[in-house]
Amino acid sequence: MPAPTIFIDADACPVKEEIYRVARRTGCPVQVVSNSFMRTPPDVTLKVVEAGPDVADDWIAERVQPGDIVVTNDIPLADRTLKAGGAALGPNGKAFTQGSIGAALAQRGIMEHLRSMGDVVGGPKPFTQADRSRFLSALDAAVTKAKRR
């Protein structure tokens, strides 16, 4: 069984270096998908897509295969990944699952509505070292699970 491909929704991903290290150790190919050029190691594939809403997400969703892993903060992309048979991880180490994605989509919709009414300001919590550690553990677990398939 080939190693799973790890797709990175890269424009705002704070754990790219961690992904590269895990991928090298486990033999997983990495696809970095971005709306603009960014430096990547020679053993990582960079795909620069057109700028625009959801262009990178669409590119990833059209290519993810069962067992592949997508690292993203984008809940609709996580949903599409799960529907394709892949695993979806947030950079904070939170794994999206069939059991949790519905609630995540609903909460996203509520928050968008509140923001549109001006009731919510600010962004996500700052990224911490604990988030980074949680992510590394979750990525290791996802790769191990994918290789067992």
DSSP string, 47-89: EE--SSTTHHHHHHHHH--TT-EEE-S-HHHHHHHHHTT-EEE
Q: Residue 129 domain-assigned?
A: yes
**Residue 19 belongs to some domain of the structure:** yes
Residue 60 domain-assigned?
yes
Strands 95-96 and 87-89: antiparallel
CA distance 88 to 148: 17
| Per-residue burial over 118-140, b = 16 or more CB atoms within 10 Å of its CB, e = otherwise | eeeeeeeeeeeeebbebbbebbe
Residue 1 lies in a domain: no
pLDDT digits over 30-44, tens only?
999 999 999 999 999
pLDDT given at position 23: 97
Nearest of 107, 102, 70, 62 to residue 89 by alpha carbon: 70
Q: In this structure, what CATH number is given to the domain that contains residue 137? A: 3.40.50
Residue 142 has pLDDT above 90, yes or no: yes
- Interatomic CA distance for residues 63 and 65, integer angstroms: 6
In a domain, 10, yes or no: yes
Full domain range(s) for residue 16: 6-148
pLDDT tens digits for range 66-116: 999 999 988 899 999 999 999 999 999 989 987 777 666 567 666 666 667
Residue 79 lies in a domain: yes
Q: Domain for residue 85, yes or no?
A: yes
Instruction: Judge whether 53 lies within some domain.
Output: yes
Q: Mean pLDDT, to the nearest integer, of 125-130?
A: 87
What total of structural domains would you count in the chain? 1
Question: What is the spatial distance between Cα 92 and Cα 101, in angstroms, rounded to a whole number?
Answer: 16
